[in-house]
Amino acid sequence: MDFARHNPRLFHVTHRTAIEGIRAHGLLPAAALATGAEATANRDAWTPAPAPGGTTAWLRWQNMPEGPIAARLHPAIPPAAWRLFINSMVFLFASEADARRLAASPRDAGEDQAVLRFETAALLEAGCALLTCRWNNGYLDRAPAARRRLRAYDDYRPAALWRRGEPLGEITAFGGIPAGIPFDEP
Protein backbone atom coordinates (compact mmCIF):
# COMPACT_ATOMS: atom_id res chain seq x y z
CA MET A 1 0.00 0.00 0.00
CA ASP A 2 1.42 3.38 -1.02
CA PHE A 3 0.25 5.06 2.16
CA ALA A 4 2.14 2.82 4.60
CA ARG A 5 5.21 2.63 2.37
CA HIS A 6 5.51 6.42 2.14
CA ASN A 7 4.24 7.16 5.66
CA PRO A 8 5.77 4.35 7.76
CA ARG A 9 5.18 6.17 11.05
CA LEU A 10 2.32 8.35 12.24
CA PHE A 11 2.38 10.76 15.16
CA HIS A 12 -0.24 11.95 17.62
CA VAL A 13 -0.14 14.79 20.15
CA THR A 14 -1.83 14.24 23.51
CA HIS A 15 -1.82 15.50 27.05
CA ARG A 16 0.99 13.71 28.88
CA THR A 17 -1.38 12.58 31.64
CA ALA A 18 -3.29 10.50 29.06
CA ILE A 19 -0.43 8.15 28.15
CA GLU A 20 -1.13 5.40 30.69
CA GLY A 21 -4.84 5.45 29.84
CA ILE A 22 -3.98 5.15 26.14
CA ARG A 23 -1.76 2.14 26.87
CA ALA A 24 -4.55 0.49 28.88
CA HIS A 25 -7.65 1.43 26.88
CA GLY A 26 -6.45 2.64 23.48
CA LEU A 27 -6.42 6.08 21.89
CA LEU A 28 -10.08 7.01 22.03
CA PRO A 29 -11.64 9.83 20.00
CA ALA A 30 -13.30 12.75 21.77
CA ALA A 31 -16.77 11.43 20.84
CA ALA A 32 -16.09 8.26 22.85
CA LEU A 33 -15.04 10.30 25.90
CA ALA A 34 -17.34 13.32 25.81
CA THR A 35 -20.92 13.20 26.96
CA GLY A 36 -23.91 15.22 25.81
CA ALA A 37 -23.17 18.61 24.32
CA GLU A 38 -19.41 18.16 24.77
CA ALA A 39 -19.46 15.73 21.83
CA THR A 40 -21.04 18.26 19.45
CA ALA A 41 -20.22 21.73 20.81
CA ASN A 42 -17.13 23.76 19.96
CA ARG A 43 -14.46 23.57 22.67
CA ASP A 44 -12.84 26.94 23.37
CA ALA A 45 -10.27 25.47 25.76
CA TRP A 46 -8.80 22.16 26.86
CA THR A 47 -11.74 20.30 28.42
CA PRO A 48 -11.56 17.47 30.99
CA ALA A 49 -13.62 14.34 30.28
CA PRO A 50 -13.95 11.11 32.26
CA ALA A 51 -11.87 8.31 30.77
CA PRO A 52 -11.90 4.54 31.32
CA GLY A 53 -10.31 3.35 34.54
CA GLY A 54 -11.40 6.43 36.48
CA THR A 55 -8.82 8.67 34.85
CA THR A 56 -9.31 12.05 33.19
CA ALA A 57 -8.82 12.68 29.49
CA TRP A 58 -8.13 16.18 28.21
CA LEU A 59 -9.93 17.10 24.99
CA ARG A 60 -8.04 19.62 22.87
CA TRP A 61 -9.67 22.94 22.08
CA GLN A 62 -11.24 23.29 18.65
CA ASN A 63 -11.58 26.15 16.21
CA MET A 64 -15.09 25.37 14.95
CA PRO A 65 -17.38 28.11 16.31
CA GLU A 66 -20.96 27.95 15.05
CA GLY A 67 -21.07 30.84 12.56
CA PRO A 68 -17.68 30.45 10.88
CA ILE A 69 -17.89 26.65 10.53
CA ALA A 70 -21.51 26.78 9.28
CA ALA A 71 -20.38 29.06 6.44
CA ARG A 72 -17.78 26.46 5.40
CA LEU A 73 -19.90 23.29 5.50
CA HIS A 74 -21.97 21.63 2.80
CA PRO A 75 -25.51 23.01 3.33
CA ALA A 76 -26.84 19.57 4.36
CA ILE A 77 -24.41 19.32 7.30
CA PRO A 78 -25.26 21.18 10.52
CA PRO A 79 -22.26 22.31 12.63
CA ALA A 80 -23.11 19.96 15.54
CA ALA A 81 -23.20 16.95 13.18
CA TRP A 82 -19.84 18.00 11.67
CA ARG A 83 -18.23 18.35 15.09
CA LEU A 84 -19.55 14.90 16.12
CA PHE A 85 -18.05 13.46 12.91
CA ILE A 86 -14.71 15.19 13.55
CA ASN A 87 -14.80 14.13 17.21
CA SER A 88 -15.20 10.50 16.09
CA MET A 89 -11.65 10.53 14.74
CA VAL A 90 -8.18 10.60 16.26
CA PHE A 91 -5.92 12.96 14.34
CA LEU A 92 -2.43 11.91 13.29
CA PHE A 93 0.53 13.50 11.54
CA ALA A 94 2.84 12.07 8.89
CA SER A 95 5.85 13.84 10.40
CA GLU A 96 7.17 14.32 13.89
CA ALA A 97 7.94 17.95 13.04
CA ASP A 98 4.27 18.67 12.26
CA ALA A 99 3.18 17.02 15.52
CA ARG A 100 5.72 19.05 17.48
CA ARG A 101 4.47 22.25 15.81
CA LEU A 102 0.98 21.54 17.13
CA ALA A 103 2.35 20.79 20.61
CA ALA A 104 4.29 24.08 20.55
CA SER A 105 1.28 26.19 19.56
CA PRO A 106 1.16 29.42 21.59
CA ARG A 107 -2.46 28.60 22.42
CA ASP A 108 -1.23 25.44 24.17
CA ALA A 109 1.41 27.17 26.30
CA GLY A 110 1.50 25.59 29.72
CA GLU A 111 -0.08 22.28 28.63
CA ASP A 112 2.14 19.25 29.28
CA GLN A 113 1.88 17.47 25.94
CA ALA A 114 3.58 14.41 24.50
CA VAL A 115 4.14 13.26 20.94
CA LEU A 116 3.38 9.58 20.36
CA ARG A 117 4.79 7.57 17.44
CA PHE A 118 2.92 4.63 15.90
CA GLU A 119 4.06 2.26 13.17
CA THR A 120 1.58 2.63 10.30
CA ALA A 121 1.77 -1.07 9.44
CA ALA A 122 0.77 -1.99 13.02
CA LEU A 123 -2.25 0.33 12.82
CA LEU A 124 -3.36 -1.20 9.53
CA GLU A 125 -2.78 -4.78 10.73
CA ALA A 126 -4.97 -4.03 13.77
CA GLY A 127 -7.77 -2.92 11.46
CA CYS A 128 -7.62 0.80 12.23
CA ALA A 129 -9.76 2.77 9.79
CA LEU A 130 -7.14 5.23 8.57
CA LEU A 131 -8.52 8.09 6.51
CA THR A 132 -6.82 10.90 4.66
CA CYS A 133 -8.03 14.35 3.70
CA ARG A 134 -6.36 16.57 1.11
CA TRP A 135 -7.09 19.66 3.20
CA ASN A 136 -6.75 20.75 6.79
CA ASN A 137 -10.48 20.93 7.50
CA GLY A 138 -9.81 22.58 10.85
CA TYR A 139 -8.37 25.66 9.19
CA LEU A 140 -10.97 28.42 8.86
CA ASP A 141 -9.91 30.15 5.67
CA ARG A 142 -10.66 33.82 5.24
CA ALA A 143 -11.55 33.60 1.56
CA PRO A 144 -14.74 35.35 0.46
CA ALA A 145 -17.78 33.10 0.80
CA ALA A 146 -18.12 32.66 -2.97
CA ARG A 147 -14.56 31.24 -3.19
CA ARG A 148 -14.63 28.89 -0.19
CA ARG A 149 -14.42 25.14 -0.54
CA LEU A 150 -17.26 23.65 1.46
CA ARG A 151 -16.36 20.80 3.79
CA ALA A 152 -18.16 17.46 3.50
CA TYR A 153 -17.92 13.97 4.96
CA ASP A 154 -16.48 12.57 1.74
CA ASP A 155 -13.42 14.83 2.09
CA TYR A 156 -12.12 11.89 4.17
CA ARG A 157 -11.13 8.83 2.13
CA PRO A 158 -9.61 5.48 3.09
CA ALA A 159 -5.82 5.72 3.28
CA ALA A 160 -5.64 2.79 0.81
CA LEU A 161 -6.81 5.23 -1.90
CA TRP A 162 -4.02 7.73 -1.20
CA ARG A 163 -1.24 7.94 -3.79
CA ARG A 164 2.22 9.40 -3.44
CA GLY A 165 2.23 13.07 -4.33
CA GLU A 166 -1.33 13.72 -3.16
CA PRO A 167 -1.65 16.32 -0.41
CA LEU A 168 -2.00 15.03 3.14
CA GLY A 169 -3.83 17.82 4.94
CA GLU A 170 -5.09 15.43 7.61
CA ILE A 171 -4.70 11.79 8.61
CA THR A 172 -7.20 10.26 11.00
CA ALA A 173 -8.09 6.98 12.66
CA PHE A 174 -11.89 6.84 12.55
CA GLY A 175 -13.09 5.37 15.84
CA GLY A 176 -9.63 5.61 17.39
CA ILE A 177 -6.76 3.20 17.94
CA PRO A 178 -7.34 0.05 20.04
CA ALA A 179 -5.34 -0.85 23.12
CA GLY A 180 -2.33 -3.05 22.51
CA ILE A 181 -0.93 -1.14 19.53
CA PRO A 182 2.63 -0.29 20.52
CA PHE A 183 3.76 3.33 20.50
CA ASP A 184 6.65 5.29 21.87
CA GLU A 185 7.68 8.87 22.51
CA PRO A 186 10.37 9.92 20.04
**Number of other residues whose CB lies within 10 A of the CB of residue 177:** 25
Q: How far is CA 152 from CA 14, 65, 93, 103, in A?
A: 26, 17, 21, 27
Residues found in the chain: 186
pTM over 0.85: yes
* Residues 179 and 26: beta-carbon distance below 8 Å: yes
Farthest-apart Cα atoms in the chain, separation: 48
- The residue ranges of every structural domain in the chain are 2-184
Residues 62-91: pLDDT tens digits? Answer: 988 888 899 999 999 999 999 999 999 999
Looking at residue 174, what is its pLDDT?
99
Looking at residue 137, what is its pLDDT?
83
Looking at residue 149, what is its pLDDT?
83
Give the pLDDT band of residue 180 (cuts 50, 70, 90).
very high
Mean pLDDT of 16-22: 94
Ordered alpha helix ranges (H), the chain: 2-6, 19-25, 30-33, 66-70, 79-86, 96-103, 120-125
**55 has pLDDT over 90:** no
Residues 125-177: pLDDT tens digits? Answer: 999 999 999 988 877 777 777 777 899 999 999 999 999 999 999 999 999 99
Looking at residue 170, what is its pLDDT?
96
- Beta sheet of 129-133, edge-to-edge order: 89-92, 170-174, 129-133, 156-158
